Amino acid sequence: LVASYTFALIPETRKHGVRGVTLKAQVRTLWDALTSDRIFLAFVLIRLLWDFGLQIGGPYFAVYQVEVIKATPGFIGLLATVSAGTRMIGLRVWGPWLDRRGARWVTTVAALGIPVLPVIWAVSSRPWHLILAELPGGFLWAGFEMGIFTLFLELLEGEDNTQAAAGYMALSSGVSILGPFIGGWLIAQTGYAGNFLVSGAIRLAAALLFLVVLKPSGHVGTYQDSVPAA
């Protein structure tokens, strides 16, 4: 409640003449953004692939800790603390890199490291093994989330960015629904280890696509660059 009140205090520049936006308008704006800029289209498709790989394994990590690793509630809390601590360190480290190297570089480098994490989970057999995943996990996820958010804002510029962003989030929500269903089926067929390895493989494929498409040391255009002037 306090956080919600604080958010309400943030001054906001409102666009003049903005009327209620229908779902049809959001879909149309997202479609215009996707078809007007091949880089943004590739970014969205790769991000959806990344989210799919994440949702296949992510929801089952906590279940794996209890059912297979037999971790105690106290140890699970310790893991969360370790991850939060390295995340704070990561934000401090990735921030200057974001300023110097750019969002594409930070996103790609962090994404290439994250696929290792579910592999560590897959081969862990003792609770303390999971520390080896949570220590780098918080650090890497801090960089990825910082970079991907900044990159999204860079690519999706223009007056209709809010509607296009809403359409993108709708697609992402669909992936979040589908992923756990596939993940549950994989666990039934291959066990938790197989699920985590597939999750890591999909994340690695998406990370490599980020490397190829984003060109961390090159130039990536924006949606606004491809929209003709009125």
pLDDT in tens, 189-199: 999 999 999 99
**Phi, psi dihedrals of residue 11, rounded to the nearest 5°:** -65, 145
CB atoms within 10 A of CB 188: 9
* Amino acid present at 46: I
Asked if 163 and 31 touch (Cβ cutoff 8 Å), the reply is no
Looking at residue 130, the DSSP 8-state letter turns out to be G
Percent of all residues in the chain with a pLDDT value above 90, rounded to a whole number: 54
Whole-number Cα distances in Å, 79 to 57, 127, 227:
18, 9, 46
Q: Check residue 219 and give its pLDDT.
A: 46
199 three-state secondary structure = helix
Residue with tokens 């105690």: 72
Residue 83 has pLDDT above 80, yes or no: yes
CA dihedral 92, 97, 103, 106 (to 10 degrees): -80
Q: Tokens at residue 191, please?
A: 């066990």
Task: Compute the distance between CA of residue 203 and CA of residue 148 in angstroms, rounded to an integer.
Answer: 14
More confident position, 40 or 33: 40
Average pLDDT, stretch 119-143? 93
Report the percent of the chain where pLDDT is more than 70.
Answer: 82
In which element (H, E) is residue 134 found? helix 131-155
pTM over 0.85: no
Higher pLDDT, 168 or 118: 118
Q: Residue 84 pLDDT more than 70?
A: yes
| pLDDT score for 224 | 43
Q: Is residue 47's pLDDT more than 80?
A: yes
Q: In this predicted model, what pLDDT tens digit does every residue of 162-216 receive, in sequence order?
A: 666 777 787 788 888 899 999 999 999 999 999 999 999 999 999 999 999 887 6
